[in-house]
């Protein structure tokens, strides 16, 4: 079976992932590639319904463990209906957040036992693991300032406080250090164009470009 390539974008709030993933998708499509641009939580109709439950309401609407279960329920539907079929036909799948977000937000941020997060990840993700993960890193206050300046109302996680966001940043840096074959750290404090160059340098060799 042909397998495409699965690339995920990760980082804290307002790191610039969504901007850069759109730029990358446009460039790869212009090169004639079959690109699926998707996101989590969400990406399939069922998962988008779960997204609405997760991102709206009070910061303490769900416990961290309940969040982890909902994120994984959404992820399983997204994998079955969108990601796995696209990879099977050989597409480039670009996903704005994936399982590392659960490790960081619900694990490190929400203090859910890492063993539970890992068990859920094994059961839900199985073999559909990213080939490449770009981790966008910038100081917490810069990211929150950017996120709040463009806000559309889905702000449950942005309202969780600075200490929560510092734990996220540390967790992402730890993931990048633990899995250097899969993860590339991107300096997200740079200009939009400079970040795009860094994304290109990380992605193109994996595509044989
Ligand atoms: N979540 C998700 C979990 O808790 N567990 C999980 O398992 C998963 C999958 C998703 C939320 O769900 C949580 C994490 C999130 O809190 P979302 O609305 O999809 O929520 O939000 P985010 O993914 O966090 O997206 P953001 O929009 O907050 O951040 P982005 O995508 O990193 O940033 P972006 O590109 O929208 O940029 C933000 C602003 O900064 C500017 C942009 O123009 C924009 O205004 N900007 C720059 N400015 C200067 N220089 C640059 N280099 C810039 N890059 C972007």
* Domains by residue range for the chain, with CATH: 5-207 (3.40.50.300)
Do 141 and 201 touch, CB atoms closer than 8 A? no
Q: Is the CB of 15 under 6 A from ligand 1?
A: yes
pLDDT in tens, 76-104: 999 999 999 999 999 999 999 999 999 99
The C-alpha atoms of residue 103 and residue 168 are separated, in whole angstroms, by 9
Indicate the burial class of 197 (C-beta count within 10 angstroms; 0-12, 13-18, 19 or more). Answer: exposed
Which pLDDT score is estimated for 28?
A: 98
Q: What is the mean pLDDT of residues 106-134?
A: 97
Residues 148/158, Cβ–Cβ less than 8 Å:
yes
Looking at the whole model, is its pTM more than 0.85? yes
pLDDT digits (tens, 9 = 90+) for 31-82: 999 999 999 999 999 999 999 999 998 888 999 999 999 999 999 999 999 9
Helices (H) and strands (E) in the chain, counts: 9, 5
Among 101, 144, 164, which residue has the most ligand 1 atoms within 8 Å of its CB, making it the best to mutate? Answer: 101
């Amino acid at each position: 079976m042909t397998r495409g390539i699965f690339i995920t974008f990760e980082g804290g709030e307002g790191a610039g992932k969504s901007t850069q993933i759109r730029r990358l998708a446009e460039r790869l499509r212009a090169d004639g590639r079959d690109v699926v641009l998707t996101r989590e939580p969400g990406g399939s109709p069922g998962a988008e319904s779960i997204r609405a439950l997760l991102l709206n309401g009070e910061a303490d609407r769900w416990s961290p463990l309940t969040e982890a279960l909902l994120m994984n329920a959404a992820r399983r539907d997204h994998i079955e209906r969108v990601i796995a079929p696209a990879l099977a036909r050989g597409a480039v799948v670009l996903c704005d957040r994936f399982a590392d977000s659960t490790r960081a937000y619900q694990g490190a941020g929400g203090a859910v036992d890492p063993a539970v997060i890992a068990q859920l990840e094994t059961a839900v993700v199985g073999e559909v693991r990213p080939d490449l993960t770009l981790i966008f890193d910038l100081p917490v206050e810069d990211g929150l300032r950017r996120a709040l300046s463009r806000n559309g109302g889905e702000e449950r996680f942005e309202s969780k406080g600075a200490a929560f966001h510092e734990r996220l940043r540390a967790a992402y840096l730890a993931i990048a250090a633990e899995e250097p074959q899969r993860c590339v750290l991107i300096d997200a404090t740079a200009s939009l164009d400079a970040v795009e160059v860094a994304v290109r340098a990380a992605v193109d060799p994996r595509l044989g470009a």
